[in-house]
Amino acid sequence: MEQVKKLIKDSAAIRFSVLGMISVLMFGTYWFQDGLGPLKGLFESQLGFTSTQFGLLISSTTWANLALMIILGGMALDRWGIRKTGIIMAAIATAGAFIVALGSMGVFGTGKSAMLISMMAGRILFGVGLETTCVLISRTVVKWFKGKELATAMGLNVVVGRLGSFFAISFGLDIASGRVSTALITAASIIGLGGLMFLAYFIFDIKLDKQLAATATETQKEKFSFKDVIKLITNPSFIYIGLLCVAFYSAVFPFLQYAPDLLVNKFGFTFTMPDLGGMTIWQKIAAYLQNGPKVSGLIPLGTIIFTPIFGRLVDKKGKAASLMVLGSLLLIYAHVTLSLVNSVLLGYTGLFALGIAFSLVPAAMWPSVAKIVAENRLGTAYATMFTIQNYGLSLFYFGIGKVLDIFNPKIVAKIQSVREALLAQGLSKAAIAQKIESMQTAGEIPPYNYTIPILMLVVLGVISIFLAFQLKRADKRQGYGLELPFHKK
């Protein structure tokens, strides 16, 4: 019998090299997605945005996807393949990011309304590229790692994305140097670099496709049909994992956008780091742990450590559905400590719990989809999940900001009046931002009360637990083996 020809993806070195190349694009998109959070204070003081307008801006990232644009992207992926879809979506995400940056500079108009509208238009365009890119990269990881270290590979890919979030949240304000546009241009440029790395990946993808074409079965060659969507949305296991995706991520991603501002207002943290010259190492650590953006950045940083560990656990031991239950419990604890409790120490434990949950659930969820759905339909499956996820994200990105304004009307009015008075004095936007921050630090402008906005996220944790238990029950009936090691069916 003729020996089966070895595929390029059978080489672990090549597999993981490919993973590194495609993950750069994930790094850039996550950087830009989460990069607005630490700049919220600058949006208020420099550009004059309220919390509601800030929430509207970050919510607009999801709007086109509410009109099923991600599903269309998933269809395109299943029809056109990774290369054509990837380059189109990377270009769209990059273009949208640069429009946001230019809008913040007043290129499309210097009035607050003109800046907000142009930046929202850019975020809408970026959102289309962002979510379809996430689908694309997940599908690419499955292509190279299914039957091997899939959960580990997906965990590592998540790690690279979280690294982008960590740098954006922790150092975005430092990069900005008092100018929103500087931070946004930097983030947009990183997405462009990720697109170039994805182009370089094509060398490997073309070779693998040629090898796979010779051995593909008729089932693997089948093209997408709309019946696939019907099959997905009537599959109980897929329904529960899709809804769990909505509930869980709606309690995490919107929180990350507001976390630096929450820590400053609730626990008295700072936005900017003090001069560290002459400080001992312990004083520097204390200063770091009292800075809102730096501490918020520890949430995605924690996932960098734990997500690969949990991914390896899923590969070797299974228990994916059980890990989703545990992650949901940690989510509830995190938001309770950050909404109802005023202890800084418990707040730190809540942030740590959120970081663990943010590692557990993705490490178990995304590879589980590959057990529930056939490989040649994964583009549509992931696209469907990201689409319904965007409904939750859109609601809570905007909802947290709106509720924050509703419960803090005097503070909103105070910031706006101070800003208008400083503008009348002829101060620059950067100087106004510094002045308002100093007034907040001195207590001349009271802190926002974040209790109700964050308490809303506790409800999402309860819903997540219910859905995770329902997923376990459905899996027992349908036999996908989500509790088994990943290489077992």
* 420 pLDDT more than 70: yes
Minimum mean pLDDT range among 222-226, 252-256, 299-303, 327-331? 222-226
pLDDT of residue 219: 45
Stretch 310-315: mean pLDDT: 83
- CB-based contacts of 303: which residues, under 8 Å, 6+ apart? 158, 159, 162, 355, 358, 359, 362
* 85 pLDDT more than 70: yes
pLDDT of residue 228: 66
* 484 pLDDT more than 70: yes
Note whether residue 11 is domain-resident: no
Note whether residue 430 is domain-resident: no
pLDDT of residue 464: 93
Minimum mean pLDDT range among 17-31, 101-115, 210-224? 210-224
In order, the DSSP letters of 134-163 are HHHHHHHHHHHHTTTTHHHHHHHHHHHHHH
DSSP 270: B
* 2 pLDDT more than 50: no
The more confident residue out of 381 and 283 is: 283
pLDDT of residue 486: 63
State the total domains in the chain.
1
pLDDT in tens, 7-39: 888 888 898 999 999 899 989 999 998 888 889
* 449 pLDDT more than 90: yes
Question: Which percentage of the chain shows pLDDT scores above 90?
Answer: 32
Radius of gyration of the chain (CA): 23
Q: Does residue 412 contact residue 53 with C-beta atoms inside 8 Å?
A: no
Stretch 147-160: mean pLDDT: 82
Domain holding 386, by residue range, is: 16-209+224-408+448-478
pLDDT of residue 223: 55
Stretch 170-189: mean pLDDT: 89
Q: Does residue 269 contact residue 263 with C-beta atoms inside 8 Å?
A: yes
Q: Does residue 449 contact residue 407 with C-beta atoms inside 8 Å?
A: yes
Q: Which residue has the tokens 């208020």?
A: 44
Q: The CATH number of the domain where 330 resides is what?
A: 1.20.1250.20
CA distance 264 to 45: 15
Note whether residue 401 is domain-resident: yes
Q: What's the mean per-residue pLDDT of the chain? A: 85
pLDDT of residue 132: 80
* 121 pLDDT more than 80: yes
Note whether residue 247 is domain-resident: yes
CA distance 268 to 271: 10
* 119 pLDDT more than 90: yes
Q: Does residue 466 contact residue 355 with C-beta atoms inside 8 Å?
A: no
CA distance 132 to 295: 30
* 173 pLDDT more than 50: yes
CA distance 275 to 253: 31
* 79 pLDDT more than 80: no
pLDDT of residue 216: 58
Note whether residue 415 is domain-resident: no
* 268 pLDDT more than 80: yes
pLDDT in tens, 87-103: 888 899 999 999 999 99
Q: At what angle do helices 82-104 and 112-145 cross, to 10 degrees?
A: 160
Note whether residue 215 is domain-resident: no
Note whether residue 427 is domain-resident: no
pTM above 0.95, yes or no: no
pLDDT of residue 193: 92
- CB-based contacts of 417: which residues, under 8 Å, 6+ apart? none
Q: Does residue 56 contact residue 235 with C-beta atoms inside 8 Å?
A: no
Q: Any idea how long the chain is?
A: 489
Note whether residue 136 is domain-resident: yes
| Continuous H helices in 407-488 | 409-424, 429-442, 451-478
pLDDT in tens, 39-54: 988 888 888 899 999 9
pLDDT band, very low/low/confident/very high, at 225 (cuts 50, 70, 90): low
Q: At what angle do helices 320-339 and 236-250 cross, to 10 degrees?
A: 30
pLDDT in tens, 293-303: 888 888 887 77
* 441 pLDDT more than 60: yes
Q: Does residue 229 contact residue 50 with C-beta atoms inside 8 Å?
A: no
CA distance 206 to 239: 34
pLDDT of residue 1: 37
pLDDT of residue 99: 96
